[in-house]
Structure formats: structure tokens, C-alpha cells
Amino acid sequence: MQTRSVSVWTLCLSALLVMCVASCERQDRQADPEATSTTVATSDGNEGSVPESSGEKDSGSEGAITDAEFDPQNAQDCGPALEGWRVVLASGESNCETAREVVAAFAATTDVDGRVPQVSAKVAGGWECEPVFYERHGADPRTYSMWCTSGDDAVLTLEESVPVLEGTYVRPYDHVYVKPGGYTGEQWAFSSPSGRWGCSIIDDPAEKSAEVRGDVGCHGGFPPEYTSDSNPEGVASPVNTVGMYRGSEPELWINGDVRYYDGPTLEYGEVLYAFGFACTVEQEAGVTCLDGDHGFTVSSQAVKLH
């Protein structure tokens, strides 16, 4: 009888020990959900296997942009780059992956993070890049945009707040206004194909102040119903100018002296970006210039301010 009692107690203790071990295993699995993961079939042919993570960050992908991280405005919008800038497919048949790589490669040619190189450079893939320098900002490479080309392909960076207009972007330096005497650097100018409008983006360092942040505008032949009494006589007269300062709504006025000079023709469907403004010309709509939420469209038939 004593031997049987010992055996019974041994069996009971063994059963309790098994139950405790099973309970602990269940708790461990609940605390670590990855412990219950099962293998899955992957689309790359490695069926039934899941790659293990080393826990180390891939330095090559650090800071990379993925399509899931932003909502593109259109097919030319490749998303953010550096701080406050956006990569745009300016022209040609390139793609966003290449465009981002080119911009990153050009940015890597300077030792200072977040700044655009101050000199042109060649990068991998046969691309040539140049900084677009703005007079008003002086020698501050954080304010430069980039222009990179390879054959017919071109990539541009523009300020993140500026809408990405659809069209063929032109090289900004091809539209620097040259005053008589050869002085350059104050205006990025263009003319409409009809010759009706002369437009420019003002980048005059003489106006470098908190109140004057740069402006864009057009001088030309407005529809006759648009008048203003802003002339010295105070008499309603046809307006001849539309202008818009950065961060402000556009206005119509009468200018005795032309403020916005014309420049090389901006063809229909082309886009000029400079100094935080973007302008384009369409045959039906006319000239459109934008600055964030504000902009204007002018033609021989109508004027739209927004």
C-alpha cells in the first residue's frame, strides 16, 4: 500500500509539471507574436522561406523615397528630395527611380548635408548636373535648385510648396533676362508664342527684404473690360500688368514703366520654374503662373486670379 501511494503521488506531480510547462509556453508565444509566424510563399520564387532580418539598417536604402511615402500630383512628380525640395521629371523618357538617384548622386558631391553643390558635376549614368543660383539668396546653397540632363532626359528640383505643372520643363538658365550692357541675374523672363505677353520672375537682390520676397508677372494686352484707376490721374483705364508677390494674391494694375520684361519664347506646353514660381503657356488658356495656393491665368479673352 505504501508503494502504491508513492506511485500515485508521483504521477500527480508529473501531470502538474507538464501542465505548468505548457502554460508557460503559451504565455511566451503570446508575448512574442513573431514566434508563431509561419513560412509563406513569396513572389520571387523563394517559396516557403522568409528572409531573416539582421537587425542592422541598410545604409544604401537609408533616406530613400518609396512610392508609398507620398501622393504624387501627376506622373512627373517624383516626390521630396533633400529638405523642402521636390524631384520632377522635366523632360524625356526617364523614370522617378532614376531621377531620385541622380539628384541624390549630385547632392553627394558636396560635403555639407542638405545643401546643393555650388559647382556643376557629372554623376553616374552620363548625367550632368548644375545648381540653379538665385541672386536674392546670395551664396546659400540650401536655396539652389538642381538641373540635371542626360541626352533628351532632364530632371529638376523645385520647392515643395510649388505645384508640379504638367509639361516640358525648360532649363532655367536659358531664360535669364539680359539687360542692355550685359548684366544678368535679376529676372527669369519669357514671351508667349503669340508675342502678346512678356513675363518674368523677379529675382532682384536690390529688393532683398522681408516684405519683398520676389514676384512674378506679365505685361501685355488685356481684355478691354479689365480696368483700374491706379494711375496718377485716378481715371479708370485698361490695365496692362498682372503681378503676384510670393505668398500673396495676384493683382492687376497699370504700369507706366514695364516691370516684367519679355525673354525667349516659352512654347505651348513648356514650363519655366525659378525662385519658387512656375509658369506655363497653353494655346487656349493663355499664360499661367503659380506660387503655392496663389496664381493667375491671362489671355486675350479672360483673366483668372486665384
Split into its structural domains, the chain has a count of: 2
* Domain co-membership, 228 together with 128: no
* Domain co-membership, 233 together with 265: yes
* Domain co-membership, 177 together with 295: yes
Looking at the domain assignment, is residue 47 inside a domain?
no
Looking at the domain assignment, is residue 225 inside a domain?
yes
* Domain co-membership, 173 together with 295: yes
Looking at the domain assignment, is residue 223 inside a domain?
yes
Looking at the domain assignment, is residue 286 inside a domain?
yes
* Domain co-membership, 184 together with 123: no
- CA 203 to centroid of chain Cα atoms: 20
Looking at the domain assignment, is residue 63 inside a domain?
no
* Domain co-membership, 292 together with 173: yes
* Domain co-membership, 117 together with 207: no
* Domain co-membership, 107 together with 187: no
Instruction: Count the neighbouring beta carbons within 10 Å of the beta carbon of residue 113.
Output: 9
* Domain co-membership, 121 together with 176: no
pLDDT tens-digit map of 50-91: 233 333 333 333 344 444 567 899 999 999 988 889 999 999
pLDDT at 21: 42
Which span out of 4-18, 43-57, 274-288 was modeled with the highest average pLDDT?
Answer: 274-288
- Per DSSP, the three-state class of 175 is helix
pLDDT tens-digit map of 149-192: 999 999 999 988 889 999 999 999 999 887 665 555 568 999 99
Looking at the domain assignment, is residue 25 inside a domain?
no
* Domain co-membership, 291 together with 195: yes
pLDDT tens-digit map of 105-154: 999 998 777 778 888 999 988 999 999 887 656 666 667 889 999 999 99
* Domain co-membership, 96 together with 179: no
- Sequence-distant (6+) residues with CB within 8 A of 34 are none
Range of the domain at 267: 169-305
Looking at the domain assignment, is residue 5 inside a domain?
no
* Domain co-membership, 207 together with 277: yes
Q: Domain ends where: 114, 135, 160?
A: 160
Q: Domain ends where: 130, 160, 190?
A: 160
pLDDT at 209: 57
Q: What is the pTM of this model?
A: 0.74
Looking at the domain assignment, is residue 129 inside a domain?
yes
